[in-house]
Amino acid sequence: MDGFPAEYVDTIVYSDNLAVLRTLPDGCVPLIYIDPPFNTGKTRSLTRLRTTRDPDGDRVGFQGQTYRTLRLGTTRFADVFDDYLAFLEPRLVEARRVLAPNGTLYVHLDPREVHYVKVLLDGIFGRECFLNEIIWAYDFGGRSTRRWPAKHDNILVYVASPRDYVFNVDAIDRIPYMAPGLVGPEKAARGKLPTDTWWATIVPTKARERTGYPTQKPLTILRRIIAASSNPGDLVLDFFAGSGTTGVAARELGRRFLLVDNNPEALQVMARRFAGEAGVRFVGFDPVAGVPTAPSDPAAADDAAGE
């Protein structure tokens, strides 16, 4: 992590991400993963519920049992942009600047905007630096009867140099062969390397890792990315941090992290998720009280100082 500000190691920052990116030195981050808003045109929300069996409850569940529902809270953020590419472009330009000479950028999107962002990234990085488009396929949720149901996300992968980048093939988790009888018992037992299509469930409702954040991504996706495209001790940057999954996976795999988000509800989720974790610090946010201690927009801080 040569050249990386020590005060940002294992740090969660409540701020506009562009302001934070502009404070980082050139070429200091080995791996960047971002999961920006998808520009769905809606407010994304998720209400957490707890159900208990109750003969006078308000809903009927498994095997006709009656349950009472308790609402634990709702997490939400606006996912609407007048000019989505104008919002992303300066942040992607900064991401390219701070990426290490052998670094990798993963940009997690969906089919609405991925093709436009691909053209934008080609202009910033050069088409020769495009490494992969990963398709994360899952099978959960509603079913349209008017079109093919959308059940995948797109992850664009770019490298700073097409001749020198980290790809730890031996560290990647292996998956079962679809036809193990065709490859022999030894290969079948070992499994195969994933391709550019990843089948993985979304975070299940009852999973221990579930946080209640509306766009939480599963740890299995981040573990694979971090294991493949960084080395132990490296720093991983996620400047659309959301529920903090990138930081959790980074810690599990012996990496360091810098997470940035300007949604107070995201910081509240991360405060719960990292509670009791030694060495994790918050900037601009009090994790105990669950409230910001500084404006997320530095310009607002300047205005407040002027008053």
Ordered alpha helix ranges (H), 11-83: 17-21
Model pLDDT for residues 25-81, shown as the tens digit of each residue: 999 999 999 999 866 555 544 344 455 666 766 655 545 666 555 544 445 435 456
Rounded-to-integer distance, Cα 204 and Cα 125, Å: 36
**In what helix (H) or strand (E) does residue 269 lie, and over which residues does it extend?**
helix 264-273
Compute the average pLDDT of residues 84-89.
92
- Residue 255 contacts residue 232 (beta carbons within 8 Å): yes
Per the DSSP assignment, residues forming a β-bridge with 135 are 154, 197
Nearest to 196 by CA among 166, 228, 244, 171: 228
Rounded-to-integer distance, Cα 261 and Cα 297, Å: 11
Is residue 214 predicted with pLDDT exceeding 70?
yes
The fold for domain 6-40+80-306 equals Rossmann fold (3.40.50)
Instruction: Provide the 3-class DSSP secondary structure of residue 248.
Output: helix
CA distances for 121 relative to 106, 157, 234, 257, angstroms: 11, 10, 24, 23
pTM of this structure: 0.83
| Structural domain boundaries in the chain | 6-40+80-306, 42-77
